[in-house]
């Protein structure tokens, strides 16, 4: 399908020996519709996961609230015992309501239970990286993260977590987090149209901290989608491939986690790492989000 040298290069998480492929894989879409229940084709999901690691990807992003519990159990069934060097990143801080809603789960008991659920369902003695998920659905919200992050730092000191990251946070919350424990990555919404984290990314890059954008095609206006489609058509590739390639070229600390349950789309996603966008295409794409304020669009999602 591809190989590791075509996966956008590698990135070493700060203060660790973990070197990950910049093109990773997000497991959310392995669950059923609305990220709830099992997928229609469990064997197909297993095949996709095995194809991911066979292609050289050594960075899988997941959470036990996907399903809930479903994706982690599929990952374990497909890949356990895990290959040397495979980094499984999970997240805590949310849970699923019986109505399939997404709810905060940031109490001490909820966080401890979530870490143990991830350990059990993934079949691990320690979690490589755990991201603390806070904020709203798409963007950070104000407030201290000291209390929940301190809980995770305690679990790290006990050896249940190796490293910690943050998801849906502001630069001020990152600074607060770093006063509590080491932070190896930040996972926020960002793409060619949603650009509120431009300065944040540059600051993280200067310090060697990974930035992991989610929703590479989320929050686009129709005109922005048209511009991306036109760029993709000129290169004879899919819009998602252009969006992913733009992110890889945006900054060397950006690490991607596109997800799919389709083998065809997996090939497209992985091959986008080898796509080199010409300067004129990059300039055209930069202009999509360069003159607007992403926060105003996030509120309408």
Residues near 146 by beta carbon (within 8 Å), at least 6 away in sequence: 176, 180
CA nearest 257: which of 291, 215, 200? 215
Active site residue 66: yes
Query: Could you give the maximum distance between any two Cα atoms of the chain, in Å?
Result: 53
Joined tokens for residue 238: 């899919």
Q: Which of 25, 66, 82, 190 is catalytic?
A: 66
CA-to-CA distance for 266 and 52, rounded, in angstroms? 8
Cα 164 to its chain centre, rounded Å, is 14
Please give the structure tokens belonging to residue 21.
Answer: 């492929």
CA 143 remoteness from chain centre: 23
The H or E element spanning position 89 is strand 87-92
Catalytic residues: 66
């Amino acid at each position: 399908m591809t190989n590791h040298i075509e996966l956008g290069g590698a990135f070493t998480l700060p203060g660790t020996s973990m070197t990950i492929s910049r093109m990773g894989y997000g497991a959310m879409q392995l669950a059923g519709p609305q990220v709830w229940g099992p997928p229609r084709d469990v064997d197909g999901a297993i095949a996709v996961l095995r194809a991911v690691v066979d292609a050289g990807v050594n960075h899988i992003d997941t959470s036990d609230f996907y399903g809930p519990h479903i994706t982690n159990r599929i990952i374990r069934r497909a890949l356990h015992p895990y290959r040397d060097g495979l980094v499984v990143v999970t997240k805590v801080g949310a849970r699923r309501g019986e109505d399939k809603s997404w709810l905060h789960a940031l109490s001490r008991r909820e966080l401890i239970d979530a870490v143990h659920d991830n350990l059990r369902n993934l079949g691990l003695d320690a979690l490589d990286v755990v991201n603390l998920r806070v904020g709203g659905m798409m963007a950070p919200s104000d407030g201290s993260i000291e209390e929940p992050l301190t809980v995770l730092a305690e679990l790290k000191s006990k050896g249940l977590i190796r490293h910690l990251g943050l998801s849906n946070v502001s630069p001020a919350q990152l600074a607060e987090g770093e006063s509590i424990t080491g932070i190896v990555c930040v996972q926020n919404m960002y793409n060619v149209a949603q650009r509120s984290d431009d300065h944040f990314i540059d600051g993280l890059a200067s310090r060697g901290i990974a930035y992991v954008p989610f929703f590479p095609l989320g929050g686009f206006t129709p005109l922005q989608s048209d511009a991306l489609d036109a760029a993709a058509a000129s290169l004879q590739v899919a819009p998602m491939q252009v969006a992913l390639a733009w992110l890889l070229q945006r900054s060397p600390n950006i690490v991607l986690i596109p997800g799919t349950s389709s083998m065809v789309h997996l090939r497209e996603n992985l091959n986008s790492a080898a796509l080199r966008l010409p300067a004129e295409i990059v300039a055209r794409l930069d202009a999509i989000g360069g003159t607007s304020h992403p926060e105003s669009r996030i509120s309408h999602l």
